Amino acid sequence: MITISVQQLLIYILLVVAIVVLGILAAVFAKLLPTLKSLAKTMENVEALSTTARDDLDSVQGIVKNVSRSVSDVTGVIANNRSGLKAATNLVNAAAGLARLTRTKEKK
């Protein structure tokens, strides 16, 4: 005669449940493995893209700094040579006025 206590029966039931749960987990991980490999490849691509974007951003920042310096230099030159620019503008305006004057005299 075989006698099984309630405690032993509960232990055997828990052991069977644990084996079933481990089997389910193994199946889930087996199905997730291709997805994880694909995710790893995608992350490598994202890393390469972010590196390229960072390098391009550094290049753009350098260009912007150079343009900013150039604009500052041109602004400084213009600010320092205002009287020269005014004189050149007045000279051009005078030449334009003289040209208009000669044209109006030629028409008459």
Question: What total of structural domains would you count in the chain?
Answer: 1
Q: Is residue 73 part of a domain?
A: yes
pLDDT score of 106 more than 70: no
Per-residue confidence (pLDDT) for residue 54, from 0 to 100: 86
Q: Is residue 103 part of a domain?
A: no
Would you give the distance in Å from CA 49 to the centre of its chain?
9
Residue 24 belongs to domain spanning: 6-81
pLDDT score of 63 more than 70: yes
More confident residue, 51 or 63: 51
Q: By the 8 A CB rule, do 78 and 85 touch? A: yes
User: In which band, very low, low, confident or very high, does the pLDDT at 53 lie, cut at 50, 70 and 90?
Assistant: confident
Of the candidates 27, 47, 29, 49, the one whose C-alpha atom is nearest the C-alpha of residue 37 is: 29
pLDDT mean across residues, the chain: 83
pTM: 0.41
Q: Is residue 10 part of a domain?
A: yes
Per-residue confidence (pLDDT) for residue 60, from 0 to 100: 79
Q: Is residue 66 part of a domain?
A: yes
